[in-house]
Amino acid sequence: MLKQQFRCKARRWVWLSAAAVCLLASGAHAEPDAARKEELRYLLEQDCGSCHGLTRKGGLGSPLLPENLADSSDEALLEVILEGIPGTPMPPWKYLMSREDAVWLVKLIRKGIDHDG
């Protein structure tokens, strides 16, 4: 009887730790908070826009509309944004944003300029 109770408690502890690990893991991939999202929206329009066009139709940089990027994976776009493209004017942004920021930017770009509000 006592043994049974102990096992129950032990099992509960395992579940609790698993839940804690899950929470921590999801925290590491959390989206930027609302204020940061605003900053990133502004950055996309102003900074990225200075090369890729205010409406993302391209300029010095290639167009960044969903249809232009359909063949690129999220991972590939993420790398381009964080690392830049050496030998081209596309700069690395990893000094100015976290990976989570870039993941969110990719989502925003994929939605398209008319639907990212």
Binding site for ligand HEC (CB under 6 A): 43, 47-48, 50-52, 60-62, 64, 68-69, 72, 77, 80-81, 85, 88-91, 93, 105
Shortest approach of ligand HEC to residue 82 CB, angstroms?
10
Task: For helices 99-111 and 34-43, give the axis angle rounded to 10 degrees.
Answer: 60
Q: Which of 86, 72, 81, 87 is nearest to 43 (CA)?
A: 81
Shortest approach of ligand HEC to residue 33 CB, angstroms?
18
Nearer to ligand HEC, 27 or 117 (CB): 117
Nearer to ligand HEC, 7 or 75 (CB): 75
The first and second tokens of residue 85, run together, are 């493209």
- Give CA–CA dist 99/77, Å, rounded: 12
Shortest approach of ligand HEC to residue 114 CB, angstroms?
17
- Give CA–CA dist 43/3, Å, rounded: 60
Residues 53, 63: contact at Cβ < 8 Å? yes
Nearer to ligand HEC, 85 or 100 (CB): 85
